[in-house]
Structure 1
Amino acid sequence: MRIPFELAETVAAVVAEGTLDAAARRLHVTPSAVSQRIKALEEQLGQVLLVRSKPVRPTAAGEAVVRLARQVALLEHDALAELGAEPEQGAVVSVPLAVNADSLGTWFLQPLARLAGRHPVVFDLHRDDQDFTAALLESGTVMGAVTSRATPVAGCRVQPLGAMRYRPVATPGYVDRWLADGPDGLSAAPRVDYDRRDDLQAQWLDARGIDPGIMPRHYVPASNDYAIAVKLGLGWGMLPEFQCDAELSDGRLVELPGDPIDVTLHWQQWNLRSPLLEAIADEVVASARRVLVPVG
């Protein structure tokens, strides 16, 4: 049995765009042609590939087809580059990557900008907590990911990046209002959490013997906005050093008594012999090691 690349490419386009109509516009065909291609491949494989929801989602079989299509597209790009062939006008390869919000908001975009200046590539970034980005590699949604997982995902390889150091900080006004009597006030002092999966503040409180579930909290689910919320005195929070060094130096923020938390990060990517993926890994790893705390 063979999987025609045109059909696999169509499935990947539908998953990437979310609807058959949007995929048709991307592929320059009619929605009817997209539907017929998907039906033909499903009949050939004897499996349902897509869940017709909004947006469209791949089944487990569909994820395998999407992964195949993206790997073939990447290898085709590399082969054409090696042959010295001129790409079609405006043709670029799309590389989906996963990254945690704090890396995205601080150091991760700089290496991508340098890569985009040297290669005909666009990046499709998926933002998620570093504890969950590896799942996007497992499903074939992305080709590479910044993750806290040190064990390689099946079919991937891993390189250490370093650690993001988070410091517990608040404004002087917040400390005067809520912690004037010392750390015991943390039990009632509001904190800022990124979202309901963010456990950094809870880890820090646990280490101090304070029940993290009893105090009020704000939820601010964006890295830069989260930092702004802490800097405005909305609550205390764990900020990456990148986002609080200047304010700690000039007194706009103060560090609460207690150890920082280091979150070790790794780069995982598909284990393909791809010059483009290698260039991405080299740039990301070098950039991370310049700014993150060394580990080991």
Structure 2
Amino acid sequence: MKTELTELPLDQVRTLLAVVDEGTFDAAAAALHVTPSAVSQRVKALEQRTGRVLLQRVKPVRATESGEVIVRFARQLARLERDARAELGMSAAGEPTRVSVAVNADSLATWFLPVLARVGKEPRLCFELRSDDETRTAALLREGLVMAAVTSSPEPVAGCSVRPLGRMRYLATASPAFAREHLGGPLRETLAVAPTLAFGRDDDLQDGFVRRLGGGDGASSERHQIPASEGFLRAVVMGLGWGLLPVTQAQPLVRSGQLVSLAPDRPYDVPLYWQQWKLDSPALAAVARAVLATAAEALETR
């Protein structure tokens, strides 16, 4: 029987995933217990079959946009295989199921960790959490690096389902000394020039807040990048700049006088969504239930 060209041979798919995960053809060959030549031949055959370049031949090797589709398929296939083995009693005794999730840093620092305790003991899970800005977590899902993500994007990644979680509420804050020195005039004007804090280059949270106040160009270009939620909070308290903090972090510090709320009647809400692979996986289903229940208690829903 002639093999259809539209099929994706599983040995080639798994080989592509090994190359991406290991970073080089030689390392993938060692992991698969085959020769580097065999790895190269399988990847070339898969590229010929799909009619697409699937890898960027750099160090470490990276998947192209088309390659990411194959990588995501390979990871989903591996997930289904592990679930099937578990249901058939073929898993190693006591072997837990690994679930990789991308979570924005503020959620991880505030409401997400209780999810892990809420999942329960069955099925047994090990979490692999990856932290990034909420605008970047969907990209990790798209690249096939995680199975699910807390993201600010309502547009589902290909092959994924999406459900709303609620809104993460932020307050614009600064230290009292910083506010006295930099924020003496109309807020939309002073915030546009005062030193600003940002999570990273892609973080436009502060810009969005200033524009909502009427400052058309957003926050000042004089900004410090602090890529950690706890570090960001400390930087605000220390007076390095002003920034938006999750309300659960900000309110105790405002009450204690360590911070001032710059616009207490103008909170800034960021909608969050749960995206996950469309797989009939008991592990993913258990995590999703815990995430939705915890988010309903911790996030703004009105």
TM-score (norm 1): 0.84
Q: Does residue 286 of the first structure (1) align with residue 293 of the second (2)?
A: yes
2:262 corresponds to 1:262:
no
5 Å-filtered alignment, 1:161-180, equals 161-180=165-184
SS at match of 2:161: strand
TM-fit CA distance, 1:165? 0.4
| 1:33 positional shift | 4.7
Structure 1 range deviating more: 226-235 or 118-127: 118-127
How far 1:71 moved relative to its partner?
Answer: 1.6
In structure 2, do the counterparts of structure 1 residues 30 and 112 end up closer, same or farther at CA, with 3 Å as the change threshold? farther
Question: Partner amino acid for 2:276?
Answer: Q
Within 5 A, what are the aligned runs for 1:183-262?
183=187, 185-210=190-215, 211-214=217-220, 216-257=222-263, 258-262=265-269
Shift of 1:63: 2.3
Q: Deviations over 1:170-229 (max 9, x none)?
A: 111212222345645434421212223222211221222234355622222222211211
Counterpart Cα distance in 1 of 2:19 and 2:127: 17
Instruction: For 1:32 and 1:92, locate their aligned partners in 2 and report how far apart those are by CA, in whole Å.
Output: 35
Shift in Å, 1:235: 0.8
Relative to structure 1, is the Cα distance of residues 23 and 223 closer, same or farther in structure 2, using a 3 angstrom cutoff? farther
Matches within 5 A, 1:45-56: 45-56=50-61
Structure 1: segments with no counterpart, 5+ residues: none
Q: 5+ unaligned residues in a row in structure 2: which ranges?
A: none
SS in 2 for 1:130: coil
Between 139-148 and 123-132, report the one with greater CA deviation: 123-132
Q: Measure, in 2, the Cα distance between the counterparts of 1:225 and 1:47.
A: 43
Q: Which moved more, 1:240-249 or 1:230-239?
A: 240-249
Aligned partner of 1:75 in structure 2 is 80
- State the partner residue of 1:130: 134
Alignment of structure 1 residues 92-171 onto 2, 5 Å: 93-112=97-116, 115=119, 118-119=122-123, 121-171=125-175
Distance 1:119 1:38, change over 3 A: farther
Distance in 2 between residues matched to 1:174 and 1:246, nearest whole Å: 18
* TM-aligned CA deviation for residue 262 of structure 1: 0.6
Q: Is the 8 A contact 1:170 1:255 kept in 2?
A: yes
Matched-pair identity in %: 50
Distance in 2 between the 1:30 and 1:4 partners?
A: 18
Report the RMSD for the aligned CA atoms in angstroms: 2.9
Higher alpha-carbon deviation: 27-36 or 155-164: 27-36
Aligned length in residues:
294
Aligned amino acid, residue 221 of structure 1: P
